[in-house]
């Protein structure tokens, strides 16, 4: 019997892929207008390369894009302002996010979040999405000390909810982290086919989701019938 439903944040509760792309493009456009000295497309491609090399939590992306020049601080500041202004505009939950989570709670299921990233950033997302008070637990990789697919982060959520892994459904968008980790502890793995990873196919049995859905509200049928 299923007792809890756990969610990733990015591309599951909201369209983070689209948000990030639009925010980065806006940042580059502002930096170009401030004198970056390259086209918007060239700047965006270079920024993407920097992010890919150093990771999304690296705090010197724009510094590396601008390089060492007298007016670098003004150009970087223009990018930062544009990025954050645009990010807030696109930080909105999918249309079926809040209603699905609330219906699960009304039906008696415990609900939680398992997500990778910096704790403050992930909590900021939940607060801006208006979801911070809905979940019974929020487990972030920075707080646990490991990232998905490490089994420890999934087991930590079970511990906080007081349930066994086999009593949990986990909803994610990535095969390599979400499906591998949730399958590894024995949860019912559900892949949401939204976002940048929706067209990827499993490379091994551990990445194979037990269910695939295109809308979050399809979860209601799954939890009742598993």
pLDDT value of residue 195: 86
Among 90, 123, 149, residue at a domain's last position? 90
Give the phi and the psi of residue 71 in degrees, each rounded to 5.
-95, 20
pLDDT value of residue 94: 95
Q: How many domains does the chain have?
A: 2
pLDDT value of residue 57: 83
Q: What's the half-sphere exposure (Cβ side, CA atoms, 13 Å) at 181?
A: 27
Judge if 82 and 178 occupy the same domain: no
- For residue 205, give the DSSP letter: G
Domain that holds residue 79: 17-90
Closest C-alpha among 151, 185, 192 to residue 168 = 185
Handedness of CA 194, 212, 105, 109 (dihedral sign): negative
What is the CATH number for 216? 3.40.50.1000
CA angle 195/215/149 to nearest 5° reads 55
pLDDT value of residue 110: 97
Residues 93 and 14: beta-carbon distance below 8 Å: yes
Judge if 48 and 119 occupy the same domain: no
CA gyration radius, the chain: 19
User: What are the 10-residue block averages of pLDDT along the chain, 226 residues in total?
Assistant: 97 95 96 96 96 91 94 96 95 96 96 97 95 96 97 98 98 98 98 93 97 95 90
Judge if 64 and 99 occupy the same domain: no
pLDDT value of residue 44: 97
Judge if 175 and 97 occupy the same domain: yes
pLDDT value of residue 183: 98
Computed over every residue of the chain, the mean pLDDT equals 96
Judge if 31 and 69 occupy the same domain: yes
pLDDT value of residue 161: 97
Burial of 186 (0-12, 13-18, 19+ CB in 10 A): middle
Judge if 96 and 183 occupy the same domain: yes
pLDDT value of residue 42: 97
CA angle 127/22/53 to nearest 5° reads 95
Paired strand residues for 191:
172, 212
pLDDT value of residue 153: 98
């Amino acid at each position: 019997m299923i007792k809890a439903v756990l969610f990733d944040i990015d591309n599951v509760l909201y369209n983070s892929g689209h948000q990030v792309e639009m925010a980065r493009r806006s940042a580059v456009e502002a930096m170009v207008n401030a004198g970056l000295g390259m086209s918007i497309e060239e700047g965006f491609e270079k920024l993407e390369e920097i992010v890919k090399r150093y990771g999304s939590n690296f705090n010197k992306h724009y510094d590396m894009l601008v390089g060492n020049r007298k007016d670098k601080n003004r150009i970087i500041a223009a990018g930062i302002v544009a990025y954050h202004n645009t990010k807030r505009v696109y930080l909105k939950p999918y249309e079926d996010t809040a209603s699905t989570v609330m219906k699960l709670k009304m039906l008696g299921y415990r609900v939680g979040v398992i997500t990778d990233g910096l704790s403050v950033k992930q909590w900021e997302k939940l607060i801006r999405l208006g979801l911070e008070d809905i979940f019974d637990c929020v487990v972030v990789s920075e707080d646990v000390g490991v990232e998905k697919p490490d089994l420890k982060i999934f087991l930590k959520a079970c511990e906080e909810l007081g349930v066994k892994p086999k009593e949990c459904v986990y909803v994610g968008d990535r095969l390599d982290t979400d499906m591998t980790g949730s399958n590894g502890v024995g949860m019912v793995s559900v892949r949401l086919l939204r976002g940048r990873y929706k067209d990827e196919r499993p490379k091994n049995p551990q990445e194979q989701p037990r269910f695939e859905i295109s809308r979050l509200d399809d979860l209601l049928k799954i939890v009742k019938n598993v």
